[in-house]
Amino acid sequence: MIALVTDSTCDLPADILAKYQIEIVPLTVHIEEDTYYDKVDLESEEFYAMMESAVELPTTSQPSVGLFMDKYKKLAENYDQVISIHLSSALSGTCESARLAAAQIDELEIEIIDSKSTSSGLGFMVLLAAKMLTNDKNMDEIKETLMQEREKLTIYFTVNELSYLEKGGRIGKAQAFLGNIFNFNPILELSAATGEITPKEKIRGYKKTNQKMVELALEAAAGSDKVNFAYIYGKNSDNYKQLKNLLGTELQSQNNFEYLLLENRIGTVLSSHTGPLVYGIVIYRGELLGE
């Protein structure tokens, strides 16, 4: 039997995790003197309040090798193979921790997959693997498919300020400086081509920013017969609601492709690097992953 493991940045809802028996290994958030497991110890709204009052920005850390070993050893009681899919190795050492742990486990055959994405991008790859498992696909088939399909993932998002990404080393200081002056809103991209966050556009005003993100999402979907979209967000802001309305209207009026549209709130680890007012769109050009 094959077990499916991912990490807490996948942003899949609890009912989906339970339905497909997806195992989660949490990342860790450090704020002030306290440490929390992502999506285990802290609710989002409580975390945002703590972020806003904290003297220093929160930091995060990947799961330890020992945490992965504990998970894999527990799974070895009922499984003989594991597919372990994680956030982009360009953003975190989570994949490396998983690989180091897997190398020390003899009871299981473990395949580590770098999704080259995060949030619902990672979630889509985990959900694809889960559906393949229900169709009795073997580990080699699933690995080969995931390595191909991850190239069809794109995320566009915007943040209220770039200091979080700058301090965490996720984006260069020059981009952070440019984004913070003249009231520009940055549009950032996480593409499977690199697995890294790169600046895409600088636009003045949130309405124009949201219109551009919708335009980029539809451009990313062009040429595909089926497209999975997901809204991702931290705080449920008015600007985020405007983005939802804009994209929803555009999708309803088009007949170029079939689509699935999900909505997922990001967890505390990702919020630590983006700030609470992050929001965006995930695009996966592939078979629809709905029920």
Instruction: Please tell me whether residue 269 adopts helix, strand or coil conformation.
Output: helix
Q: Which residue has the higher pLDDT, 172 or 143?
A: 143
pLDDT of residue 260 exceeding 70, the answer is yes
Torsion over CA: 197, 201, 205, 211 (sign): negative
pLDDT of residue 173 exceeding 50, the answer is no
Question: How many whole angstroms separate alpha carbon 214 and alpha carbon 209?
Answer: 9
Kindly list the structural domains of the chain, giving each domain's residue range(s) and its CATH number in brackets, ordered by start: 2-149 (3.40.50.10170), 152-284 (3.30.1180.10)
Q: For 186-243, what is each residue's pLDDT tens digit?
A: 899 998 888 988 889 888 889 999 999 999 999 999 999 999 999 999 999 999 999 9
pLDDT at 85: 98
Question: How many whole angstroms separate alpha carbon 215 and alpha carbon 183?
Answer: 21
CA-based nearest residue to 237, from 45, 10, 55: 45
Q: For 57-106, what is each residue's pLDDT tens digit?
A: 888 999 999 999 999 999 999 999 999 999 999 999 999 999 999 999 99
**Is residue 138 a contact partner of residue 83, using CB atoms and an 8 Å limit?**
no
Instruction: Please tell me whether residue 274 adopts helix, strand or coil conformation.
Output: helix
Question: How many whole angstroms separate alpha carbon 45 and alpha carbon 152?
Answer: 32
Total-model pTM = 0.93
pLDDT at 27: 96
pLDDT at 177: 45
Q: Which of 41-50, 222-231, 277-286 has the lowest mean pLDDT?
A: 41-50
Is residue 168 very low, low, confident or very high in pLDDT (cuts 50, 70, 90)?
Answer: low
Question: How many whole angstroms separate alpha carbon 60 and alpha carbon 280?
Answer: 21
pLDDT at 90: 92
